[in-house]
Amino acid sequence: MSSDAATVRSERQGRVLVIRIDREAKRNAIDRVTTAGIDEALNLLDDDGELWAGVITGTASVFCAGSDLRDGTGGGTERGGEYGVIRRRRAKPLIAAVEGPAYGGGFEIALACDLVVASETARFALPESRRGVVASSGALFRAMRALPLNVAKELLITGAVLDAERGHQLGFVNRLCAPGEALATALALAEDVCLSSPVSVAASLAALATLHEDEDAAGWEAGAQAVERVKAGQDIKEGVAAFFEKRRPRWQGR
């Protein structure tokens, strides 16, 4: 079964919905059509009582490079927010199956999931500061929830890369596997989840979400203020121009 967006494909495997981002020529960057496709697939996961868990993955060489800076993401969706997933309040667990880079918004998609499976090829990074912008899809508060504070800070202000092995050691990655095995490993984990009562799973996820409600609201507000601050300066224009011109930015610090 495929969604109406050619860049996102979804298929049922028993009670698990597998959602594949498939724009490898664009490193699976999220554009408007891809946002709509992810949203459609996750709406199905939310609404279909026969589905108990979901897995979101990319292609063999890359999970997701984040937002398509040239074409734009089309904005958030009503039920899912950014990329159709970032602000979604889900009752069913979603597992990220990561092969290759998960950069920027790709990392933020993984942070929005409940569990993360990564192959040894997986790499996580938040390069926004190198482009004169900030991570605006949840990483400003979710990174420090998933990782030690100083590690999260380093990722946010240097653009450093976190490899899968260290991510596993730090507790962010639930399962570390051989290259090419992320999806199979994530499906096995999803099947393990499906051995539990879906009512119990939903109740547990709802309780955890409730515990984080105030913290999340403060995080989104702080993130919005950070976005406005960079938009008011000149460095954002230079950062985006340098990215497209494939050169080092010449920051003005204003």
Q: What CATH number does the domain containing 94 carry? A: 3.90.226.10
Q: How confident is the model over 214-236, as pLDDT tens digits?
A: 999 999 999 999 999 999 999 99
Q: How confident is the model over 61-120, as pLDDT tens digits?
A: 999 999 998 889 998 999 999 999 999 999 999 999 999 999 999 999 999 999 999 999
Q: Which residues pair with 1 in a beta bridge?
A: none
CA distance 213 to 247: 41
Residue 153 lies in a domain: yes
To the nearest 10°, report the CA torsion of 31, 106, 57, 50: -80
User: Which pLDDT does position 185 carry in this prediction?
Assistant: 98
Query: What residues act catalytically?
Result: 108, 128
Residue 240 lies in a domain: no
**Cα angle at 209 between 156 and 90, to 5 degrees?**
95
Q: Which residues pair with 176 in a beta bridge?
A: 118
User: Which pLDDT does position 5 carry in this prediction?
Assistant: 47
Residue 208 lies in a domain: no
Residue 189 lies in a domain: no
Which pair of structure tokens corresponds to residue 152?
């999260």
Residue 117 lies in a domain: yes
Domain ranges, residue 174: 8-178+197-203
Q: Residue 183, exposed/middle/buried by CB under 10 A (0-12, 13-18, 19+)? A: buried
**For residue 157, what is the enclosing H or E element?**
helix 149-158
The total domain count for the chain is 1
Residue 47 has pLDDT above 70, yes or no: yes
Residue 249 lies in a domain: no
Q: How confident is the model over 150-198, as pLDDT tens digits?
A: 999 999 999 999 999 999 999 999 999 999 999 999 999 999 999 999 9
Residue 239 lies in a domain: no
CA distance 200 to 207: 11
